[in-house]
Chains A and B, each alone.
Chain A
Amino acid sequence: MVTGRALVLAPPAVGPLLMLQAPLSFWGGVDAATGRISDPRHPDFGRSITGVVLALPSAIGSSSSSAIMLELLREGTAPVALLMGTADAILALGVVVGRELDQDAIPVLEVPWPLLAAVPSGTQVRVSGATVSEVTP
C-alpha cells in the first residue's frame, strides 16, 4: 500500500496500473478522441490510457494539457485515476474544471515515486482517498 497526498478528491477507483516510462505532455502527446498516447517519441506510444490508473513520474510541457485532460473526461476516454510523482496543477486542474462542467471527477494523487515504482504495471489497484492498494483477487 502506498499513501500520498490527494490533489483531487473523488470516489474510489479501481483499474490496472499503467506506469509510464517517461514524462508525458498531454498536449501534443495524447489523442483525446481515442485515449491513446500519440507522441511517436514517447516510449509508451500507441498505448491506451482509457480506464487505467495512470502513473506519471512527472508531467511536462504545455499548460494546454489541462484542456486535453478535460477533453478526455468529456469523451469518456480518461484514465480512472492519476498518480503523479511530482505534484503539478496542470492535469489536476483539468479534472477540477471538468467537475465544474458536470463531468465525474477522478482521484488525482501525488505519490512517493520509489514506493509506487515497486508495483508492476498491469497490477489491479484501488485508489481511495490518499492511498493506492493492490486488489487481491
Chain B
Amino acid sequence: MPLTLTAFERHLLAGGDCEARALAMRILVAAAEMLGANELVEIASAHVDGCLYHGDGGVEFAERLVAGGGKVAVSTTLNVGALDLLHPERVRSGSHARFMARRQMEAYRSLGCTPTWTCAPYQAGHRPAFGEQVAWGESNAIAFCNSVLGARTERYGDFLDACCAVTARAPLYGLHTSEARRATVVIDASRVPPDLAARDVFYAVLGTWLGRALGEGEIGVIGGLDAHPTEDQLKALGAAAASSGAVALFHVAGVTPEAPTVEDALGHQPAGRRLVLTGLDLSAAADRLTTAVPGSGASLVLDAVAVGSPHFSVQEFDRLVSLLDGIRFRVPFYACTGRGVLEQLERTGQREALERAGVVLIVDTCVVVTPILPVGGGVLMTCSGKFAHYGPATTGFETVFGSLEDCVRSAAEGRVVRAEGVWSW
C-alpha cells in the first residue's frame, strides 16, 4: 500500500506553510516510503541528536531549515553538541571544527529547540507520557523513552529527527505500533544473586550482554530479577544494550510499564526463545568492556577516568560525592552531565566538593564525541558500558570497566584497582 498523506500534510509538502516545512516533509516522505510506512503519525515531542557536528553538511542542513523559516512544531530538546559551551577551553578541536560546531548548535537553537544539550533529556524535564507518540534520537534516550517511560519512538538519527520536529510527524511503523513492542525473547534472571542485582555495576554489564544476545528485531523481557532497579540503573542497562546491540526497547517484568508480568510483555503469545542468564554470561560481557591488557606482573597504570554516559544525574553525583571523602585524584577524572544538573550541583554546593577532589565537570557534550581526553591516549577507566564500548574507537584510549567505587579508588591510586569475583556465584 502506498503512503497516504492527510490534507494538512499535503499542504506542508506543497510549501503552503514555509519552505523549511516543505523541505522537512519531502525528506520525511522519502524516508517513510523507504521504510514501507503507509501513513505518518502525529508526534507530541522530539529529542534531536543532529546538533552534533560531523562535518559541514550538517551545518548547511540546519541553516537551510532556519533560512526557510523553520520552527519546531512540538516541544523539542537537544542532545549533546561537539562543544562545552560553558567551558570552551576543555575541548581541543581545531578552529574550523569549533566554529562550525557552534554554528550548528546555534542553528538548532534558532529552530526553537530547548538548548538542553544532554543525552539524558528524560532527567532534564522531558518525560513523555505513557503511550505518547514521539520522535527521539540518541540510542540511550530512545531505549529509556520506550522502555522506562512507555512512550513510543523509533530510532531517529541525523536529519530525520529534525524533520519530525519541524513537521510534528513521523513515519508510522515499527515501535510506534503496539504489535512491534511485544517481547519475543524471555530472559530468566532468577539465578542472579540479589546482592549483585542491587548493584549499579550489574546493569551496565546486563545491558552489554543483552545487546549481543538479541538478534535483529528481537525484543527481550527480563523476568525473575530479585531487585527493584532504580531509574539510573535502568538508564545504564538501556545505554549499554543500545551500544553493544541495536536495542531500542526492553522490558523488565514487574518494573517497566509494558511488563506487569512476563506474559503481559509477551502479549500472551508464546516466546520465540528463552535464555537463562548465568554468571558466565555476565563475566564474559564484563570482559568485553575492558580492552587494556596489563604488562606481565605489573598492575595497570591509569591515565584518566570518565563517567557520565549517559550524562550523570543528581542522584549519581550524590553517590560520587559520598565516595570522595579524603580522596585526591592522581589522574584526570571527568564527569559528563547536562547544564540542568550542573545548576543543581551549584545550588547544593556539590560542585565545589567535586572540583576540590579533582573532578572535571564536562557539560553540553561528552568525552567520546569530541576531543577532551589528554593527548596521546593511554588507559581510560569508566563505569559506563557505553564509554567502555565506544572509547577505544573514538578516543584512542584502551578501556577498563569497573564500578564507580573502583573508578574512584583507581583514580586516587593512579593504577587500576578492581573488586574481583563480582560475577562468580
Contacts and interface: CB of A to CB of B under 8 A. Distances in A.
19 contacts: A28-B393, A28-B394, A32-B55, A63-B137, A63-B156, A64-B54, A67-B55, A67-B57, A67-B58, A67-B158, A67-B159, A68-B55, A70-B58, A74-B57, A92-B30, A96-B30, A97-B57, A100-B23, A100-B61
B158 A66 contact: yes
Interface string A41-72: 00000000000000000001011111110110
Contacts of B34: 7, 87, 89, 92-93
A100 B160 CA distance: 13
Interface string A99-114: 0110000000000000
B20 to A, nearest CB: 11
Interface in B5-49: 23, 26-27, 30-31, 34-35, 49
Contacts of B157: 62-66, 90, 93
B318 interface: no
B90 interface: no
Contacts of B52: 64
Given A28-B393, A64-B157, A67-B158, A74 B55 contact: yes
Interface in A1-18: 7-8
A71 B57 contact: yes
The list of the 9 closest CB pairs from A to B, nearest first, reads A63-B157, A71-B55, A70-B57, A67-B54, A67-B158, A96-B30, A66-B158, A89-B34, A97-B159
Contacts of A63: 49, 137, 139, 155-158, 160
B397 to A, nearest CB: 15
Given A63-B160, A66-B159, A100-B26, 16 more contacts: A28-B390, A39-B393, A63-B137, A63-B157, A63-B158, A67-B55, A67-B57, A67-B159, A70-B57, A93-B30, A94-B159, A96-B26, A96-B30, A97-B61, A100-B27, A100-B64
B56 interface: yes
B159 A71 contact: no
A66 B160 contact: yes
Contacts of A98: 57
Interface string B308-323: 0000000000000000
A94 B160 CA distance: 10
Interface in B142-199: 155-160
Interface of B: 23, 26-27, 30-31, 34-35, 49-50, 52, 54-58, 60-61, 64, 137, 139, 155-160, 246, 390, 393-394
A65 B139 CA distance: 13
B35 A64 contact: no
A93 B35 contact: no
Interface string A17-48: 00000000001100010000001000000000
Contacts of A70: 55, 57-58, 61, 159
Contacts of B246: 60
Contacts of B137: 63
A7 B55 CA distance: 24
B49 to A, nearest CB: 7
B59 to A, nearest CB: 10
A101 B60 contact: yes
A62 B158 CA distance: 10
B54 A71 contact: yes
Contacts of B64: 100-101
A32 B157 CA distance: 18
A39 B210 CA distance: 24
Given A63-B49, A89-B160, A97 B27 contact: yes
